[in-house]
Amino acid sequence: MSEADHNEIPDLEPPSSSPRMPSSGPDSADPDAPEKPPIGVRTMAVVRWAILAFAVLAAVGSWWSFAHAQHGISATALKYQCPMHPQIVQDGPGECPICHMNLEPVSADRLKKPAASAAPEQTHAHVEAGASSAAAGTDYICTMCPEIHSDKPGRCSKCGMDLVAAPPKPAPAASSSVAAQPPKPAAPGAPPTKEPVLTKEPLQSKAPSARPTQTPGAIPPGTTPISLGLDRLQSIGVRTTLVEEKASASALRATAVVSAPEQNVAEVHVRAAGFVEGISVRETGVQVKAGQALVAVYSPEIYQAQSELLATKDWALLGDGKPGGRNDAARRKLELLGVSSKTADKVIASGKPFRAIGLSAPISGVITKKNVVLGSYVTPETTLYEIVDLSKVYIVADIFQQHASRVALGTTGRFASSNRRDVIAEAKVDLIYPQVNLEARTTRVRMQVQNAKLGLLPGEYGTVEFMAVSQLALVVPRDAIIDTGEHVYVFVEDQPGHFTPHAVQTGAEVGDTVEILAGVAKGDKVVSGATFLLDSESRLQASLAAVQ
Q: Express each pLDDT in 289-298 by its tens digit.
A: 999 999 999 9
Determine the Cα–Cα distance for residues 526 and 493; give it in Å rounded to an integer.
6
What's the sign of the alpha-carbon dihedral 106, 108, 110, 114? positive
Res 315 pLDDT > 90: no
The number of folded domains in the chain is 4
349 and 365 belong to one structural domain: yes
Q: Is the pLDDT of residue 183 over 50?
A: no
Q: Which of 56-60, 303-307, 543-547 has the lowest mean pLDDT?
A: 543-547
What phi and psi values does residue 417 have, to the nearest 5 degrees? -70, 145
How far apart, in whole angstroms, are the C-alpha atoms of residue 185 and residue 395? 76
Q: Give CA angle at 240 (473, 223), nearest 5°.
A: 90
Whether the per-residue pLDDT at 442 is higher than 80: the answer is: yes
Are 379 and 393 contained in the same domain? no
Q: Which residue has the higher pLDDT, 222 or 145?
A: 222
Pairing of strands 385-388, 365-370: antiparallel
Buried b (16+ CB within 10 A) or exposed e, 353-380: bbebbbbebeebbbbeebebeeeeebee
Tell me, what's the pLDDT at 468?
66
Nearest to 257 by CA among 417, 88, 90: 417
Q: Tell me if 39 is assigned to some domain.
A: no
Clarify whether residues 426 and 489 are in a common domain: no
Torsion angles phi and psi, residue 179, rounded to 5: -65, -30
pLDDT digits (tens, 9 = 90+) for 194-250: 444 444 444 444 444 455 667 888 899 999 999 988 888 888 899 999 998 887 666
Q: What is the pLDDT of residue 77?
A: 61
Could you report the per-residue pLDDT of 98-116, keeping only the tens digit for each?
877 888 888 766 664 444 4
**pTM flag (> 0.75):** no
What CATH number did the domain enclosing 500 receive? 2.40.420.20
> 285 with 379, same domain?
yes
Q: Are residues 377 and 277 in the same domain?
A: yes
Check whether 121 has a pLDDT greater than 90.
no
pLDDT category of residue 95 using cuts at 50, 70 and 90 = confident
Average pLDDT over residues 20-46: 63
pLDDT of residue 181: 46
| pLDDT at residue 290, rounded to an integer | 93
Shared domain check, 64 and 104: yes
Give the pLDDT of residue 355.
92
pLDDT value of residue 245: 87
Q: In the listed set 437, 467, 497, which residue is the last one of a domain according to the structure?
A: 467
Domain boundaries, position 368? 270-383
Q: Which amino acid is at 81?
A: Q
Residue at 184 is within a domain: no
pLDDT band at 14 (very low <50, low <70, confident <90, very high): very low
Assigned domain for 216 exists: no
Q: What is the CATH number of the domain that holds 399?
A: 2.40.30.170
Q: Tens digit of pLDDT for each residue in 272-290?
A: 999 999 999 999 999 999 9
pLDDT at 514 over 80: yes
